[in-house]
Chain A
Amino acid sequence: MKKSKAFWVFSVLALVIYAVVQGLISVGILDLYYQNILVQMCINIMLAVSLHIIIGITGQFSIGHAGFMAVGAYFSAIATMKLGLPLPVGLLIGAGVAALAGLLVGIPTLRLKGDYLAIATLGFAEIIRIIFLNVDYVGGAAGMVITNMTTWTYAFVSVVITILVIANFTNSRHGRAAISIREDEIASDAMGINTTYYKVVAFAIGSLFAGLAGGIFAHNFFIIQPTTFGFLKSFDILIYVVLGGLGSLSGAAIAAIFLTIVSSYLAEYPETRMIIYSLVLIIVMLYRPSGLMGTKEITSLFKFGKKGGSQK
């Protein structure tokens, strides 16, 4: 019953955040600049949480997440711009195709382990990007012009859905099966878990929400180009998950929020931003490789205060 309590707390919190932000927008305190930062925050949270289910929960080291974001971005844009479908339908199509791409990539690659899997996912993401680069229907290298349709509401609802689905997956027998793969794949297999199935499922769910984030992203700006979805983007997403703590959903989300704010302040100085990012990444890996939160969730900081202290 603890878990359903967390669910209600989360739902009420989400409603309150939405109401407050919506209120601030309607009285004009949050102008378009801040609204845009909020939308980007939502996109980055979705990307972080969707990679979290692959790396943090299932322990499969993917560094090609931007590829699935690209699939979602392009296919949702094709649906809205070329086929004239409404945005929600476009978002669904983008997410669906991204999940499909996740299956196609995941089935052959997920039997690889560690470094090899990482490199293979990076390779697939690059192939996806190069395909978009070479297809004239979506504008090739010049990119695809898109009407700005994303609103704060779309972005927020998408984030809430993403977090709910991934949290619900995690807190179930399926999530435990996935975590057991991260902890010890051989033991997991020996306990009757179909490890291949759960790795592919987690990968597909992660890709689905990366695709949703891509759809929101594509309709938040006037153009999408293949270069946006290169491995630097994948590394950005990886940084959220790693800094937040491998295995912590709230950690990944907090890191995404924090780094979105930092990078919007440093938008004028991209090198400085990247120097800070990379230094933080190195220092965290050397001195606190489990990231900010480790595998703990923010909720566990509030309840069992006594236990939390002894579990170091």
Chain B
Amino acid sequence: MEWIQQLVNGISLGSIYALIALGYTMVYGIIKLINFAHGDVFMLGAFIGFYAIARWEIGFFPALIIAMALCAIIGVVIERVAYKRLRNATRIAALITAIGVSLLIENVVIYFRGASPEAYPEVLPETSINILGVNISSISILILAVTIVLMILLQFIVHKTKIGKAMRAVSLDPDAARLMGINVDNTISATFAIGSALAGAAGVIFGVYYTRIEPLMGVLPGLKAFIAAVFGGIGSIPGAMVGGLSLGVVETVVSALGFSLWRDAAAFVILILILILKPSGIFGKNTREKV
């Protein structure tokens, strides 16, 4: 029974990774950029949610929506100001810019409010529900419910709406999409908006679940979510979901086995194994360089 408990914890953690990973994978799919600042958008989402709940005293769901909306705007601003000029730059220049944006966000936040952590207010009474002898906390259920709703929403947007179709077209071939009359710039911005909103939601959920947030909290989950995206096959939305959940479960199991200090290494070992054995990930496609 304890194992099922751990599995639930793993899925909760994995949901957070999955939500962040979706943003990585969508952005990479569309402009081939590892958006290192994505983890920091997640951090900003956590702080926006915190101020909304603790200072303005609005409930969890309004706070979640505000965080998602503001993160969407932040994501678009980052894309327009920093990344847009880089469309034709080298991959190295793009990656370094992304690292620069990440460092900038972190340090601007530290500059204005200090590096001290913040304790997230309680949004749900600390109860747990007993399902078949397993105690599942109400927060875990909340996290799962929110994640599932967001993922269904995302699937709907990507597959059933016009903007979703445009996103898929641009990720396949931006030039052809442009010739077909798709506004590529707006589509890329929409992708950033959706990805950043999901990261913002993940930030609020993280705060509620782990109750402690700080300005550098986005770095490690950001990297791990990226690993999850690579694991699932970068560019693939189902891949990001599966990758995120798997990584969460693996980390929880490694901790439960008594190797909690090695937990962070587990993610990186997975990363290296997947990169060496199957760089295209579980759901990814093989690509071949044209000679």
Q: Which residues of A contact B (CB under 8 A)?
A: 55, 61, 63, 108-109, 112, 114-116, 118-120, 122-124, 126-127, 130-131, 133-134, 186, 235, 238, 242, 246, 271-272, 274-275, 277-279, 281-282, 285-286, 289
The size class of the interface chain B forms with chain A is 35 or more
B95 touches A115 (CB 8 A): yes
Determine the distance from Cα of A286 to Cα of B262 in the docked complex, in whole angstroms. 38
Tell me whether A285 and B86 are in contact in the complex, defined as CB-CB below 8 angstroms, given that A119-B34, A130-B262, A238-B99 are known contacts. yes
Instruction: Check B275–A116 contact: CB distance below 8 A.
Output: yes
- List, in ascending order, chain B residues with CB within 8 A of A242's CB: 96
Supply 10 further A-B pairs (C-beta < 8 A) apart from A120-B271, A242-B96. Answer: A119-B271, A123-B227, A123-B275, A127-B272, A130-B262, A186-B291, A278-B100, A282-B104, A285-B86, A285-B89
Docked complex Cα distance between A123 and B226 (Å): 11
Docked pose: A277 CA to B32 CA in angstroms: 25
A286 vs B269: C-alpha distance in the bound complex, in angstroms?
34
B residues with a Cβ closer than 8 A to A are: 32, 34, 82, 85-86, 89-97, 99-104, 106-108, 110-111, 223, 226-227, 230, 261-262, 264-265, 268-269, 271-272, 275-276, 279, 289, 291
The answer to whether A120 touches B85, judged by C-beta atoms less than 8 angstroms apart, is no
Q: Tell me how far the C-beta of A51 lies from the nearest C-beta in chain B, rounded to whole angstroms.
A: 13
Q: Which of A109, A285, A286 contacts B272 (CB 8 A)?
A: A109
A sample of 25 cross-chain residue pairs with beta-carbon separation below 8 angstroms, ordered by A number, consists of: A61-B92, A114-B91, A116-B230, A119-B227, A119-B271, A120-B275, A122-B223, A123-B227, A123-B275, A124-B272, A126-B268, A127-B265, A130-B262, A133-B261, A235-B103, A271-B107, A272-B111, A275-B111, A278-B100, A281-B97, A282-B82, A282-B97, A285-B93, A285-B94, A289-B89
CB distance from A184 to the nearest CB of B (A): 11
Nearest-neighbor residue (CB-CB) of B277 within chain A: A108
When the two chains form their complex, are residues A281 and B272 in contact, meaning their CB atoms are under 8 A apart? Answer: no
A246 cross-chain contacts in B, Cβ below 8 A: 92
Shortest Cβ distance from residue A268 to the other chain B in the assembled complex, whole angstroms: 13
User: When the two chains form the complex, which single residue of A55, A124, A275 contacts B268, counting CB atoms closer than 8 Å?
Assistant: A124
Query: Quick check: A127 and B101 within 8 Å, CB to CB?
Result: no
Q: Is the CB of B279 within 8 A of A112?
A: yes
Q: How near does chain A come to B95, taking the closest CB pair, in angstroms? A: 6
Please give, as numbers and ranges, the residues of chain B lying within 8 Å of A289 by CB-CB distance: 89-90, 93
User: How many angstroms between the C-alpha atoms of A119 and B94 in the bound complex?
Assistant: 14
Set of chain A residues within 8 Å of B91, measured between Cβ atoms: 61, 114-115
Docked CA distance A143–B230 (Å):
33
The one of B34, B104, B275 in contact with A278, judged by C-beta atoms closer than 8 angstroms, is: B104
User: A275 touching B86 by the CB < 8 A rule?
Assistant: no
The reply to whether A275 and B100 form a contact with Cβ atoms under 8 Å apart is no
Closest residue to B93 on the A side, CB-wise?
Answer: A289
Q: Is the interface of B mostly helix, strand, loop or mixed?
A: helix
CB distance from B185 to the nearest CB of A (A): 17
CB pair B96–A238 under 8 Å, yes or no, is yes
Chain A residues whose C-beta falls within 8 Å of the C-beta of B111 in the assembled complex: 271-272, 275
If over half of A's interface residues share one DSSP class (helix, strand or loop), that class is named, otherwise mixed; here it is: helix
When distances are taken between beta carbons in the complex, the residues of chain B under 8 Å from A235 are 99, 103
Closest to A272 in B: B111
A54 to B70, CA, bound (A): 40
Given contacts A115-B91, A286-B97, A289-B93, contact A279 B261 (CB under 8 A): no
Closest to B91 in A: A114
Q: Does B107 lie within 8 Å of A275, measured CB to CB? A: yes
Bound complex: CA A79 to CA B110 (Å): 39
Bound CA–CA A116/B276 (angstroms): 10
Residues of B within 8 A of A277 (CB): 103
Whether A285 and B97, one on each chain, are in contact in the complex, defined by CB atoms closer than 8 angstroms, is yes
Interface contact B272-A120, CB-CB below 8 Å: yes
- Whether the pair B275, A131 counts as a contact (CB closer than 8 A) is no
Structural contact, B268 and A127, CB atoms closer than 8 A: yes
C-alpha gap A213/B264 in the complex (Å) = 26
The answer for the CA separation of A226 and B289 in the assembled complex, in Å, is: 39
In this complex, what residue of B is CB-closest to A134?
A: B261
Residue of B nearest to A121 (CB): B272
Min CB distance B281 to A, Å, is 11
Q: Are A123 and B272 in contact (CB under 8 A)?
A: yes
Instruction: Report chain A residues within 8 Å CB of B227.
Output: 119, 123
Neighbouring A residues of B34 by C-beta, 8 Å: 115, 118-119
Docked complex Cα distance between A108 and B269 (Å): 13
A285 CA to B95 CA, complexed, in Å: 10
Q: Report the Cα distance A115→B103, complex, angstroms.
A: 18
A residues less than 8 Å from B92 (CB atoms)? 55, 61, 114, 246
B260 to chain A minimum Cβ distance, whole angstroms, is 10
Distance A279 CA – B34 CA, assembled complex (angstroms): 19
A278 touches B291 (CB 8 A): no
Set of chain A residues within 8 Å of B100, measured between Cβ atoms: 278-279, 281-282, 285
In the bound complex, residues from chain B placing their C-beta under 8 Å from that of A112 are: 275-276, 279
Give the docked Cα–Cα distance between A271 and B264 (Å): 26
A242 to B100, CA, bound (A): 12
Q: Name which of A55, A122, A272, A282 has the most chain B CB atoms within 10 A of its CB.
A: A282
